[in-house]
Homo-oligomer: A and B are copies of this chain.
Amino acid sequence: MKKISILLVIFSFLISVPVNRADEGMWTFDNPPLKQWKERYNFAPTQEWLDNVRLASVRLNDGGSGGFVSPDGLFVTNQHVANGQLQKVSTKEKDYTKEGFYARTKGDEIKAPDLECNVLVSFENVTERVQSAVKSGASDKEASEQRKAVIAQIEKDSLDQTGLKSDVVSFYSGGEYWLYRNKKYTDIRIVFAAEEQIAFFGGDYDNFTFPRHDLDVTFLRAYENGQPAKTPNFFKWSEKGAVEDEFVLASGSPGSTARLLTVAQLAYQREVGNPLQKQVWTARLNALEKYGKLGDEQHRQASGSIRSFNNSLKRLTGQQDGLLMPRMFAKKEAEEKALKDELAKKPELQKLYAPAWEQISIAYGGLPAMAKRLAFSNLAASRLATIASQIVRYSAEIKKPNDQRYDEFRDSKLESFKFGLLSPAPIYPELEEVTLTAWLDEGLKTLGANDPFIKAALNGATPAEAVKRAVQGTQLKDVAFRKSLLEGGADAIAKSTDPMIVMGRNVEPIIRELRAFNEEKILNVEASAGEKISKARFAVYGKSIAPDANFNLRISYGKVKGYEEDTTLVPYKTTFFGLYDRAESFGEKPPYDLPTRYKEGRDKLDLSTPLNFVYSADTIGGNSGSPVIDRNAELVGLNFDSNIQKLSNRYWYIEENEGSRAVAVHSAGILEALRKLYDAPELVKELTGK
């Protein structure tokens, strides 16, 4: 009864719903912005349209998005999303990242070693069930345990009933919980990849900029039971592609935004979190670059990660620049104040929800003192060491009841966990040694020799000695060995003398202790307080704001449109003319050199064909590879980046009139290249029927 009366209060209170800003939001498919679409773009999709788009959208668990483009499992994504797999199938002799790839027949397609792809088959609101499992008067810790238990149960029931990968996902900082059921594909094969030099033309310099000239494209094919998957939901390929002022949508899995954070949380990011993240990534990048300079083969091994860290650092810099802008930060403070002020008008709600901000603020007060330990107490810089840590952790967790394990070891997630752990992807011990040594050097420098993690990891040796011993002595490179350890159980792990397992075992108590701190002092508080703030927001504004991104499927929308920059105009698209201009203007000096195919094939191209374009949809990292579609759900482009004006949109939506844009490869440009440069009539036929 009390709940109902509050609900009444809530709905009588929806007075000051803010007008949703143009093209804002990465929307879940249960709550698409139908009103905005209708009003602004006269677009009113049917449920069938929405279902089709959802079922044609693919999440790549390497961290990106894609879309089916034929009924036979063929899907498209970015070269930079698939690059990890391309590297894993490459060798010193055959470098698919560099040379690109095209399988003229299905028999030529190459299996990706450890790529899992998901399609969101169904979803169900379980908020009531999760939230009501928390007993009245429960502490934050008890509440967390109670939520965990019910979530584990929901996931297990769903998995048992449907066989689908079932995850309960939190939205709005715990304001809602949804059961997401994904169809999982783990047999993915590579059909086509553009050469990195054209996929990433302009390199890190041009990354996050526009005008842009990248054919950042890969085609993959999902298989089931050894046969191309049947995918009746797919996007028809538009030959014409995006045109100026056109309404378009992007369907994909944006990784993470932080727009609903409190001012205290944002201030922490600005003062501590981001600078520390920068230190971590810079240290890892430096190690990789050092290694990459040892020779061509070393460069090949490291280049994917170098590209990725450069990308992360450039993005982080843009995000932090945003946080450091007084004007932008003041906006967040004003937003928070406005919500609190509205709340203050309703004593019932005020009493329930208002303390939440202070709770978070207090919790974060203790975080800076622990931040460096939390950031550096891990072995993630090395794949072998990560495997060791995971095996050690698995052996301890698997003994516990399902609902008491760390999230990632719940029954519903074990298949995916093992798929990754037992990947046959190559491991390069020399690279591992360099990166892990550099990581522990940085940790030692940052935390000091007496830090528990450092002491446990080094065990009296120098980083170089400890790492050399572990990397050179470990058998974890061997997948069968990993498997035997997994199957041997806790006892086998405890007794193992594999030096990397020993290192993993030694640091595990420290990592667990820090994880416990983080869960108890931060995450549990955030979950409880976040739920309150979320309810306060719903009460005041309704569900008019999209939840923060969390690498689940979303739909964004906007217009194909250029913008002003400095004093001039940036056009909505580039053409192949622009590609050759930029290459020529830099005298083809890397990263502005062209693959031979492009140099020799220039005269075959219609150079006026669009190559890249920009549009105003609200996207973020994870949207890489998102199909950009028109109102008929035809694929008119392939999202691959954002411009620099948009980078701080992790923390807030940036209006399109500030020049923030998503960047996509144009569907006509892809076809033109496939037809004229890659001699790929089979692929073109599968895409267009011609």
> Which A residues form the contact surface with B (CB < 8 A)?
202, 205-209, 211, 244, 314, 562, 566-569, 571-575, 577-578, 580-582, 584-587, 592, 607-608, 644
A21 to nearest B CB, angstroms?
25
Q: Which 5 A-B pairs have the closest CB atoms?
A: A571-B585, A578-B581, A577-B581, A205-B568, A577-B580
Interface pair A206/B568, CB less than 8 Å apart: yes
Contacts of A580 in B (CB 8 A): 575, 577, 607-608
Assembly CA distance A529 to B607 (angstroms) = 62
Interface pair B567/A585, CB less than 8 Å apart: no
Assembly CA distance A571 to B587 (angstroms) = 9
Q: Which residue of B lies closest to A583 (CB)?
A: B577
Each complex incorporates copies of this chain amounting to: 2
A577-B580, A607-B580, A608-B580 are known contacts. Are A209 and B585 too (CB-CB below 8 A)?
no
Contacts of A569 in B (CB 8 A): 205, 586
Interface centre among A208, A314, A571, A607 (most CB of B within 10 A): A571
Assembly CA distance A205 to B581 (angstroms) = 20
Contacts of A585 in B (CB 8 A): 211, 571-575, 578
Interface pair B577/A607, CB less than 8 Å apart: yes
Assembly CA distance A575 to B607 (angstroms) = 14
Interface pair B211/A567, CB less than 8 Å apart: no
Assembly CA distance A608 to B585 (angstroms) = 9
Interface pair B568/A209, CB less than 8 Å apart: yes
Q: Which residue of B lies closest to A573 (CB)?
A: B585
A563 to nearest B CB, angstroms?
12
Given contact pairs A575-B581, A578-B578, enumerate 11 new A-B contacts (beta carbons under 8 Å). A205-B567, A205-B569, A209-B566, A244-B587, A567-B644, A571-B585, A577-B607, A578-B582, A580-B608, A581-B581, A584-B608
Contacts of A592 in B (CB 8 A): 571
Contacts of A586 in B (CB 8 A): 562, 569, 571
A395 to nearest B CB, angstroms?
45
Assembly CA distance A184 to B389 (angstroms) = 86
Q: Which residue of B lies closest to A611 (CB)?
A: B581
Contacts of A574 in B (CB 8 A): 581, 585
Assembly CA distance A188 to B638 (angstroms) = 57
Assembly CA distance A537 to B592 (angstroms) = 47
A582 to nearest B CB, angstroms?
7
Assembly CA distance A230 to B651 (angstroms) = 69
Q: Which residue of B lies closest to A210 (CB)?
A: B568
Assembly CA distance A472 to B60 (angstroms) = 76
Contacts of A209 in B (CB 8 A): 566-568
A663 to nearest B CB, angstroms?
13
Interface centre among A573, A584, A587 (most CB of B within 10 A): A584
Contacts of A607 in B (CB 8 A): 577, 580, 607
Q: Which residue of B lies closest to A566 (CB)?
A: B644
Contacts of A584 in B (CB 8 A): 575, 577, 608
Contacts of A578 in B (CB 8 A): 577-578, 581-582, 585
Contacts of A575 in B (CB 8 A): 580-581, 584-585
Interface pair A567/B608, CB less than 8 Å apart: no
Partner of A577, one of B205, B207, B208, B577: B577
Q: List 7 A-B contacts (CB under 8 A).
A: A205-B568, A314-B567, A571-B592, A572-B585, A575-B580, A575-B585, A577-B577
Assembly CA distance A314 to B581 (angstroms) = 27
Contacts of A571 in B (CB 8 A): 582, 585-586, 592
Assembly CA distance A205 to B566 (angstroms) = 9
Contacts of A206 in B (CB 8 A): 568
Assembly CA distance A585 to B574 (angstroms) = 6
A451 to nearest B CB, angstroms?
35
A610 to nearest B CB, angstroms?
8
Interface centre among A207, A572, A580 (most CB of B within 10 A): A580
Contacts of A205 in B (CB 8 A): 567-569
Interface pair B208/A567, CB less than 8 Å apart: yes
Assembly CA distance A403 to B211 (angstroms) = 60
Assembly CA distance A569 to B204 (angstroms) = 10
Q: Which residue of B lies closest to A643 (CB)?
A: B566
A522 to nearest B CB, angstroms?
33
Assembly CA distance A202 to B586 (angstroms) = 22
Contacts of A566 in B (CB 8 A): 209, 644
A200 to nearest B CB, angstroms?
13
A421 to nearest B CB, angstroms?
37
Assembly CA distance A581 to B577 (angstroms) = 5
Q: Which residue of B lies closest to A576 (CB)?
A: B581
Contacts of A202 in B (CB 8 A): 568
Assembly CA distance A587 to B208 (angstroms) = 24
A142 to nearest B CB, angstroms?
48
Q: Which residue of B lies closest to A613 (CB)?
A: B585
A290 to nearest B CB, angstroms?
23
Assembly CA distance A93 to B211 (angstroms) = 40
Q: Which residue of B lies closest to A572 (CB)?
A: B585
A618 to nearest B CB, angstroms?
22
Assembly CA distance A633 to B607 (angstroms) = 37
Assembly CA distance A607 to B579 (angstroms) = 12
Contacts of A608 in B (CB 8 A): 580, 584
Assembly CA distance A608 to B587 (angstroms) = 10
Assembly CA distance A436 to B608 (angstroms) = 47
Contacts of A244 in B (CB 8 A): 587
Assembly CA distance A202 to B202 (angstroms) = 24
A608 to nearest B CB, angstroms?
5
A634 to nearest B CB, angstroms?
21
Q: Which residue of B lies closest to A569 (CB)?
A: B205
Assembly CA distance A573 to B584 (angstroms) = 9
Q: Which residue of B lies closest to A586 (CB)?
A: B571
Assembly CA distance A569 to B209 (angstroms) = 10
A218 to nearest B CB, angstroms?
24
Q: Which residue of B lies closest to A202 (CB)?
A: B568
Contacts of A207 in B (CB 8 A): 567
Assembly CA distance A566 to B573 (angstroms) = 20
Interface centre among A572, A573, A585 (most CB of B within 10 A): A585
A371 to nearest B CB, angstroms?
27
Assembly CA distance A206 to B566 (angstroms) = 10
Q: Which residue of B lies closest to A212 (CB)?
A: B568
Assembly CA distance A488 to B209 (angstroms) = 67
Assembly CA distance A568 to B587 (angstroms) = 16
